Structure 1
Amino acid sequence: MLDPVQLERLLARVALRDRQAFRQLYDACAPQLLGVALRLLRRRDLAEDVLQDAFTSVWHRADSYRADASQPMTWLTSIVRNRALDLLRAESVRRAESLDDDVDGQGGVAALGDDRPSPLGLLEQAADALHLRRCIDDIDGPQRQCLALAYYHGLSHSELAEHLGSPIGSVKVWLRRGLDRLRRCMERLA
């Protein structure tokens, strides 16, 4: 992974339509950004589509990047994350519309998709989400912040250290302790 200064230089060259810089930017950042999309979408094909769409946007919007507003990787991650969330929203609308189309004349649903969770599955998912929320609420300070930035923004140890202005050793300890507290809490609530 390139450091932020190198990424800023590449983005500046991409803004000037430098194809070689774009390729270098893609090679340096795509694996991590694909990981962000995969965590959100849980399907590789959709994540790859989002990544391609995001890099198309980067090609056209690189001149809108402002180094004083965010780190390059944070900016790139937000583009990927927003594209993935847009796709999830669109999928949820399509599913709702298809359910409306499947309603038969007697007020029932003609055919539910096999991929829909059962009512018990939905209840278990809701309970798990509540447990997770309680456990995360119990984690405070830098541990909680590190977990959130690593999970939702896909930041690496070094990016977390830079973002938080803290030594990388501290960041690693905070993450490890935060994950350990989260695991212990989830085991207790299960």
Structure 2
Amino acid sequence: MEHEQHLALLGASAQGDKQAFSKLYHATSKQLYAVCLKMLSSKELAEEALQEAYVRIWHNASEYRTGKGTVLTWMVSIVRYRALDILRYHKIRKEDELVENESFDLDTSEKISDSEQLLLDKCLQQLDLQQRQAIYLAYFNGCSHQEVVKHLNNPLGTIKSWIRRGLMSLQSCLTP
């Protein structure tokens, strides 16, 4: 149900419907902000990444393909790449001391409610160990697929499959 709503809003956004894009933003921004904040550990940088990601989503809405995953998964990948770009920028210029957080716990005070955190934790625990590790590394720690391959010592195709299946399981578990 949620995917169909996101798909309809993204399709309308691709046609230039600003109201549909606004609705899509309100439906997804909390989840995407949580990803940015976890990866960047800074409200200002997370807000910057989120804004840049939504600009990219607006401009590239017509490029979404249904066979490549859900709208939300597509949007998360855009957000992740923007956050990674910002991380690389700041690491190269050493403007900030951004240290990768080894903890997998989300700081719920700024992102999601306690009940949402509990549900997310419960859903994550239901995943296979390999899926959970791959998702933690990719989405919570901001590792690229290649970095996950090196860390888990498995082929790229296997890592991508674990992440894809894990995200599908999470979506099923988190969707009421």
Task: Tell me if structure 2 keeps the 8 A contact 1:50–1:83.
Answer: yes
Partner in structure 2 of residue 86 of structure 1? 85
Residue identity matched to 2:128: P
CA 48–11 in structure 1, closer or farther in 2 if over 3 Å, else same: same
Would you say how many aligned residue pairs link Structure 1 and Structure 2? 129
Q: Secondary structure at the match of 2:128?
A: helix
Partner in structure 2 of residue 76 of structure 1? 75
- Deviation of 1:152 after TM superposition, in Å, equals 3.6
The alignment status of 1:143 with 2:138, answered yes or no, reads no
- Deviation of 1:166 after TM superposition, in Å, equals 9.4
- Deviation of 1:161 after TM superposition, in Å, equals 7.3
Q: Identical aligned pairs, as a percentage? A: 33
Cα distance in 1 for partners of 2:41, 2:74 equals 22
TM-score by length of 2: 0.61
Q: Secondary structure at the match of 1:68?
A: helix
Any idea what the Cα deviations from partners look like across 1:29-77, whole Å, max 9, x if unmatched? 0011000000100000100010000000111000000111111111000
- Higher RCO structure, 1 or 2 (CA under 8 Å, sep 6+): 2
Residue identity matched to 2:35: V
CA 84–116 in structure 1, closer or farther in 2 if over 3 Å, else same: closer
Partner in structure 1 of residue 124 of structure 2? none
> Which structure would you say has the larger Rg?
1
Partner in structure 2 of residue 121 of structure 1? none
TM-score by length of 1: 0.57
Among 150, 155, 168, the residue aligned to 1:163: 168
Residue identity matched to 1:21: A
Task: Tell me if structure 2 keeps the 8 A contact 1:150–1:160.
Answer: no
Task: Tell me if structure 1 keeps the 8 A contact 2:131–2:165.
Answer: no
Task: Tell me if structure 1 keeps the 8 A contact 2:41–2:98.
Answer: no
The alignment status of 1:64 with 2:50, answered yes or no, reads no
- Deviation of 1:143 after TM superposition, in Å, equals 3.0
- Deviation of 1:84 after TM superposition, in Å, equals 0.4
- Deviation of 1:4 after TM superposition, in Å, equals 0.8
Task: Tell me if structure 2 keeps the 8 A contact 1:12–1:62.
Answer: yes
The runs of 5 or more residues in structure 2 that have no matched partner are 105-126, 141-163
Task: Tell me if structure 1 keeps the 8 A contact 2:32–2:79.
Answer: yes
The runs of 5 or more residues in structure 1 that have no matched partner are 99-112, 118-124, 133-140, 170-190
